[in-house]
A = this chain, B = another copy of it.
Amino acid sequence: MVYIDQRLQLMRKKSVNLILIGFGNVGKAFFHLMEEKAERIRIQFDLDLNLKAIFDVEGGLFSASPIKQNHVLETSARALALNPLWKPGLSLGTVLREVEAGVLVECTSSNIKTGEPGLRHINEALENGWHVATANKGPLAVDFKGLGEKARRNRLELKSSGATAAALPALDVGLYSLAGTEVLAIEGILNGTTNYILTKMARGTSYSEALKEAQAKGIAERDPSLDVEGWDTAVKLLLIANAVMGLNLSLENIEVEGITGISAQVIEASKKEGKAIKLLGKVHREHSHIKAEVSLSAVDRSHPLFGVDGTNKGITYFTDSMGAVTVTGGKSDPRGAAAALLKDIINIYR
């Protein structure tokens, strides 16, 4: 019996080619985590992940045999371009066409207005038979419908856990665990930076001090406007609501409020009533109309997101047959996003 089982396993073992594009914090974290987990993934899921190329802005590192971590780190700790495998000006399209299709891992930085350069990368991948796992939310914010249809038409997967809330499995729960139930409404704390600032303010810190602290810790960016003005939350809400509720929202359909106008007095007053002020992304149906907003909301102790503090995130799905289902936590750092990408890749081949 053991003999037969082993033969079955050998037959099922699947080799999957990967291309990584974008070698910033998340791309690097993915590169490291992939090596760290390769053996486990081989044993547990019968998947051999072969990284064939890494692209950054100036070109690509490409190898016919899988790229090994040691080789990259030893020869090009400072820049990919120092690696002997480096090909300046190499285009993504060339590799997508020349290598047997697997998964494009999209980690370039996010532009929620143009979607570029990720939008072009994802389109090119889907047109050449490659699945996509993206940590970049720009392309989906700009063309959710078009990319989704292209993937379906070509029978490919377009996975975006890493783009919606890093290791918080918001999309998995919405798409997989709630299969067959109707999602009536969604409420989420989807941005760690603003939740950190609001948590600090509830403990007496002023807005500007809390923001400075967040920036010093690397939680907030030097230009924090996308976070504190609510746009990061809005984009994640858009991605999740469109996927889970089958909508076609674009950013113009979402009423967006940030946290910049919040006063210490309002927070203090809510606290006295036993409530917490949270920046919630919310979507619900009002009759046949969909209402989507990002707004400062006072939530009371009985709300499932009441205790989600600091950089933590969380999301609640209100459903017809399963009641309210909430998922919280999950690392929101580059390693968490990398783990979400890896999870998506594994689940493409289940």
User: Known contacts being A173-B177, A346-B179, is A329 close to B323, with CB within 8 Å?
Assistant: yes
Q: Which residues 314-348 of A sit at the B interface, judged by CB distance below 8 A?
A: 316, 319, 321-331, 335-336, 338-340, 342-343, 346-347
Q: Is A16 an interface residue (CB 8 A)?
A: no
| Between-chain CB contacts (< 8 Å), 23 pairs | A5-B152, A37-B321, A45-B179, A45-B180, A167-B323, A169-B178, A172-B173, A172-B177, A176-B177, A178-B343, A179-B343, A179-B346, A179-B350, A180-B346, A302-B309, A321-B331, A321-B336, A321-B338, A322-B339, A322-B340, A324-B330, A325-B327, A325-B328
Chain A residues 161 to 187 lying within 8 A of chain B, measured CB to CB, are: 167-169, 172-173, 176-182
**A33 at interface, CB cutoff 8 A:** yes
Cross-chain contact of A343 among B180, B330, B342 (Cβ < 8 A) = B180
CB <8 Å contact, B329 and A324: yes
Question: Hey, which bits of chain A sit against chain B, CB under 8 A?
Answer: 1, 5, 33, 36-37, 40-41, 44-45, 152-153, 167-169, 172-173, 176-182, 246, 301-302, 304, 306-307, 309, 316, 319, 321-331, 335-336, 338-340, 342-343, 346-347, 350
Shortest distance from the beta carbon of A43 to any chain B beta carbon, whole Å:
10
